[in-house]
Amino acid sequence: MELRNAGVTAPSATGAVTILHPTTLTLTERRISIIGGNGSGKSTLARLINGLVEPSTGSVRITVGPAGSAGEPDRALDTRRDGPAVRRSVGFVFTDPSAQLIMPTAAEDVALSLRRTHPGKRERRAAAVAVLERFGIAGLAEQSVHSLSGGQKQLLAIAAVLAADPAILVADEPTTLLDLRNARRIGELLMALPQQLVLVTHELELAAQADRSLVVDGGRVVFDGDPRDAVAHYRALAERP
């Protein structure tokens, strides 16, 4: 994925405010973490990648291989021009899983993600249960999504997003609501994904497991490089008077 001078502004009573200063980045590593203080611009940066936020200046492009067509050249998608294709290629996991669980039961929620790849109802249902099994939550298939615990909801939300087999996964603080055990489990799951992962997190141990880390401060990427150095940079920023 590539950001070229991608900046974000928002209108305000006193004129446009800058949320993300023009940023240029080429992100090719498999696991990229984004850390920084509250309100620094991490979510905005993450949302640029799947087009949930459009750049006010510059451009954001992602390059994906065409699904099921080995041997064909990769396609470059522009988040402003190719919004729907970008959203099909870039899965997004929100901090609050309730924001994305929209079907009555766990199995139905996963099945919704499979409607393109599995047009037949029975076949889709079997595939949805197989996805739940892979995530260790097949026992919850018929349970109302409202009755699930926070950790179960987050696992289900991630399962539903990954069921659509996105080329890239962007996860915005996906472990924030979880207890230690579930946070660890979901962190391990995310880090082991074959897909490219962009992970916004306040969990510095998890952030340090990435291949590359970005530190965001005041709407700018102020550090870009080795995750352990990034964590040290962020700690130093947090200790500023």
Ligand X SMILES: Nc1ncnc2c1ncn2[C@@H]1O[C@H](COP(=O)(O)OP(=O)(O)OP(=O)(O)O)[C@@H](O)[C@H]1O
> β-strand 196-200 against 212-217: which pairing, if any?
unpaired
User: For strand 196-200 and strand 168-172, is the pairing parallel, antiparallel, or unpaired?
Assistant: parallel
Q: How far is the CB of 49 from ligand X (least distance, A)?
A: 12
- Our finding on whether 10 is near ligand X (CB under 6 A) is yes
The encoded tokens of residue 77 equal 């998608």
Strands 220-225 vs 57-64: parallel, antiparallel or unpaired: unpaired
Q: Does 36 bind ligand X (CB under 6 A)?
A: yes
Residue 8 vs 155, nearer CB to ligand X:
8
Q: Is 38 in the site for ligand X (CB under 6 A)?
A: yes
Judged by CB under 6 A, the residue of 23, 33, 44, 79 near ligand X is 44
Rule CB under 6 A: is residue 41 a binding residue for ligand X? yes
Conformational region of residue 117, where left means phi above 0, alpha means psi within -120 to 50, and beta covers everything else: alpha
Torsion angle, alpha carbons of 158, 201, 48, 56, to 10: 150
Residues in contact with ligand X, total (CB under 6 A)? 10
Q: Does 39 bind ligand X (CB under 6 A)?
A: yes
Q: Which residues contact 223 (CB under 8 A, 6 or more apart)?
A: 213, 214, 215, 229, 230, 233, 234
| Interaction between residue 19 and ligand X (CB under 6 A) | yes
Binding piece for ligand X, criterion CB under 6 A, among 42-50, 67-75, 143-151, 223-231 = 42-50
Q: Which of 23, 40, 105, 196 binds ligand X (CB under 6 A)?
A: 40
By the criterion CB under 6 A, which residues form the site for ligand X? 10, 19, 36, 38-44
